[in-house]
Structure 1
Amino acid sequence: MDLPVMPPVRPMLAKAVHEVPRTPGLTFEPKWDGFRCIVFRDGDEVELGSRNDRPLTRYFPELVELLKEALPPRCVVDGEIVLVTSGGLDFERLQLRLHPAASRVKKLAAETPASFVAFDLLALGDRDLTPAPFRERRELLEGVLGADLARVHLTPLTEDPDVAQDWFTRFEGAGFDGVMAKPADLPYEQDKRTMWKVKHERTADCVVAGFRWHKDGAGVGSLLLGLFDDDAVLHHVGVASSFTAARRRELVGELAPLRENALAAHPWREWAEAHPDAGGRMPGGLSRWSPAKDLSWEPVRTEWVAEVRYEHVQGGRFRHGGRLVRFRPDREPASCTYAQLEQVPPAELAALFPEEPVR
């Protein structure tokens, strides 16, 4: 492979904001809920790179063939791999595609084929386009992408912030992760937060059921959270993290009394005693993206309630890690149920994804 922009490429990143910006000169796109992917094509060679330098090529063989048809012979394209279902984009099922066995990869490629959404062009032919303004890169991308193929798409684009606000509100339930905003004259700057992302934020009161140690071993890295269903079963719904070093140390002392006899009547006792590679949705299950990552956890008595800020829910869990707002001594753990979560109905995405959805 010999391209003017060679792998690995660190994708351009974004700063989080809480509302759609209305600065003149901005362009807006939907923020997709999938795997960020840089596609490198040089003739018959196609490589799918992730934002963390982990190759995705072997996991999505069906996309490799499609992209050979959709892209010009020599190019580098920034985009997102997504899984389109009848209920919207499904990130959890997309994660299942990251399987180590080749036979399983082949089976999943046929049963749950992925789609690719292109939104930037980094190189074309012998030209490095990263210094060019986004406006020019987008025009070139529109001219060379074969987006009439099933499961290969050009992301929608608007300069109207009111349209962007409509996308932000109307398409959330279908798997949109928010809205991206970028200046039309912006060059492609690898690994720099020069764009903006607008994401949904809500709060929920959750049961604190355990914690994981920080990687430095000196403090709490994340709190394990639970919510009760209609049958009073406590489900693991995600974590709250991103503590300062000082707060990590404080939490060790605050949680210490709750660690005493924590397993005696803990609703996740079987999970805590399971072998760490048991898998599933238990707190100690393996990470599909980082199998070597230590996900062992420390149980605490389920007596505390935490108010947590989250973005959205998918498959009964917080799609991204939550952030602790405060502890709620005024709330009873039994009151922390799924009923408090705001569920957004899926919007119709057929106009954007006309392919047959995965069922």
Structure 2
Amino acid sequence: MELPISPPLSPMLAKAVKTMPKGDLLYEPKWDGFRCVVFRDGDEVELSSRGEKPLTRYFPELVEAVKRELPERCVVDGEIVLRKGAQLDFDALQQRIHPAASRVELLAAETPASFVAFDLLAVGDESLMEVPLGERRRRLAETLAGARAPVHVTPVSDSYDLALRWFDEFEGAGLDGVIAKPRDIPYLPDKRALFKVKHERTADCVVAGFRWHKSGPIVGSLLLGLYNAEGHLQHVGVAGSFTMRRRAELVDELQPYRMDDLEGHPWEGWARQTEATADRMPGAISRWTGKKDLSWVAIRPELVVEVAYEAMQGDRFRHMARFRRWRTDRTPGSCTYEQLEVPVAYDLDDIFEGDAQSPRADRGA
């Protein structure tokens, strides 16, 4: 592969901010998928992940789309996403990473992915790494003007007000925020030179177990549950990101609630799992965890904790939740799904086809 930029390449990153920034910025929706830098040199195509690992073998349908829709020789930064109906589905996207070639081929046909382009790093023999973002964006829109699904160019705008609208509306299509990019910066691999604004909400959850930290006998994460409509305590994710001192304190705080016998615990059956399950319950093995120790310690489901989370994916938190405080004023039975905010549905086609944009927002900016 002979290109001005050779794989692998660490993509430019974004740092989290609490509020939408203002200034000489370009705003884009934040897609919820796998970051991917596409390298194409004729019939040679490589899909490179954020961690510089190859994704090529897992998405054969995108390899063919790249050959069909992208320039003969180019490097394009973007996101691999997977849609189900009118929304993105990150869980289904994760299932696409499978070791068996036959399974990869089947999933490529049953749940095909899309590629959303948002930066042009090279075309032909020309590297655009030192070119300001605004010009790269103009060149991207020009170069991919005729691209067809499953290749898309992300919407972009210099309107702060429209970015706020996107932040509120696009979550209903499965997107998870807005990215703000300084117009004049070059492409800076592995540097957090961009800004991301993501949703943050709180929920009161039941703590029904914990995992030990990899470094020793301190708490690694809390296992969280919410009661569903049938009255069952559904595992919804974990809370972590504690300081080492706080992890040690949690051992003492949880000690009175530890159970030596799992009989009667709502997750009793899950402790005996030996294979991955669709519900990804505590202790489940998956392709993502590999040989990681996922054993857990059950506690009586009597403690309630307030956590911060970004979004839901199905019946679980999309990412790790963050501990806020114990809620001694709440009863476990009051911790139900009904407390959660549900985004208004939004159709992905309106984003891909540009119907969500104003006169100041277009594919080229």
How far the C-alpha of 1:69 sits from its partner, in A, is 1.4
1:14 aligns with 2:2: no
Query: Hey, what does 2:270 align to over in structure 1?
Result: 271
- Contact 1:37–1:78 (Cα < 8 Å) also in 2: yes
Bigger CA drift: 88-97 or 245-254? Answer: 245-254
- Contact 1:71–1:146 (Cα < 8 Å) also in 2: no
Query: Hey, what does 1:357 align to over in structure 2?
Result: none
Query: Hey, what does 2:294 align to over in structure 1?
Result: 295
How far the C-alpha of 1:353 sits from its partner, in A, is 3.6
- Contact 1:307–1:326 (Cα < 8 Å) also in 2: yes
Once the two structures are superposed, what CA deviation does each residue of 1:214-249 show, in whole Å capped at 9, x if it has no partner? 222242221110000111101111111111121122
Q: 1:50 to 1:293 in 2, by over 3 A?
A: farther
Listed as ranges, the matches of 1:106-145 within 5 Å are 106-145=105-144
How far the C-alpha of 1:284 sits from its partner, in A, is 1.3
Q: 1:245 to 1:61 in 2, by over 3 A?
A: same
Q: Which amino acid aligns with 2:78?
A: G
Bigger CA drift: 263-272 or 120-129? Answer: 120-129
1:73 aligns with 2:72: yes
CA distance, structure 1, for counterparts of residue 133 and residue 9 of structure 2: 17
Structure 1: gaps spanning 5 or more residues: 355-359
Query: Hey, what does 1:308 align to over in structure 2?
Result: 307
1:195 aligns with 2:216: no
Q: 1:3 to 1:294 in 2, by over 3 A?
A: farther
Listed as ranges, the matches of 1:93-104 within 5 Å are 93-104=92-103
Structure 2: gaps spanning 5 or more residues: 354-365
CA distance, structure 1, for counterparts of residue 61 and residue 237 of structure 2: 31
Bigger CA drift: 73-82 or 256-265? Answer: 256-265
- Contact 1:147–1:153 (Cα < 8 Å) also in 2: no
- Contact 1:287–1:295 (Cα < 8 Å) also in 2: no
Once the two structures are superposed, what CA deviation does each residue of 1:288-343 show, in whole Å capped at 9, x if it has no partner? 33423332222211111110001111211111111000111111111100000011
CA distance, structure 1, for counterparts of residue 218 and residue 7 of structure 2: 37
How far the C-alpha of 1:121 sits from its partner, in A, is 1.3
SS at match of 2:351: coil
How far the C-alpha of 1:126 sits from its partner, in A, is 2.3
CA distance, structure 1, for counterparts of residue 318 and residue 188 of structure 2: 27
Q: When the two structures are aligned, how many residues end up with a matched partner? A: 352
Q: Which amino acid aligns with 2:317?
A: F
Q: 1:296 to 1:7 in 2, by over 3 A?
A: farther
Q: Which amino acid aligns with 1:132?
A: V
Query: Hey, what does 1:37 align to over in structure 2?
Result: 36
CA distance, structure 1, for counterparts of residue 32 and residue 253 of structure 2: 35
Q: Which amino acid aligns with 2:12?
A: M
SS at match of 1:54: coil
SS at match of 2:349: coil
How far the C-alpha of 1:274 sits from its partner, in A, is 2.1
Once the two structures are superposed, what CA deviation does each residue of 1:72-118 show, in whole Å capped at 9, x if it has no partner? 12211110011122241111111111111111111111111111100
CA distance, structure 2, for counterparts of residue 116 and residue 91 of structure 1: 14
Query: Hey, what does 2:215 align to over in structure 1?
Result: 216
Q: Which amino acid aligns with 1:161?
A: Y
Listed as ranges, the matches of 1:153-172 within 5 Å are 153-172=152-171
SS at match of 1:176: coil
Q: 1:153 to 1:194 in 2, by over 3 A?
A: same
TM-score between the two structures when normalised by the length of structure 1: 0.94
Query: Hey, what does 2:320 align to over in structure 1?
Result: 321
1:332 aligns with 2:331: yes
- Contact 1:147–1:154 (Cα < 8 Å) also in 2: no
CA distance, structure 1, for counterparts of residue 137 and residue 235 of structure 2: 42
SS at match of 2:193: strand
Query: Hey, what does 1:183 align to over in structure 2?
Result: 182
CA distance, structure 1, for counterparts of residue 98 and residue 145 of structure 2: 29
- Contact 1:69–1:146 (Cα < 8 Å) also in 2: no
How far the C-alpha of 1:18 sits from its partner, in A, is 1.8
Q: Which amino acid aligns with 1:265?
A: G
Q: 1:292 to 1:87 in 2, by over 3 A?
A: farther
CA distance, structure 2, for counterparts of residue 169 and residue 288 of structure 1: 33
SS at match of 2:157: coil
CA distance, structure 2, for counterparts of residue 289 and residue 42 of structure 1: 31
RMSD over aligned CA atoms reads 1.5
Query: Hey, what does 1:232 align to over in structure 2?
Result: 231
Bigger CA drift: 144-153 or 324-333? Answer: 144-153
TM-score between the two structures when normalised by the length of structure 2: 0.93
How far the C-alpha of 1:151 sits from its partner, in A, is 1.2
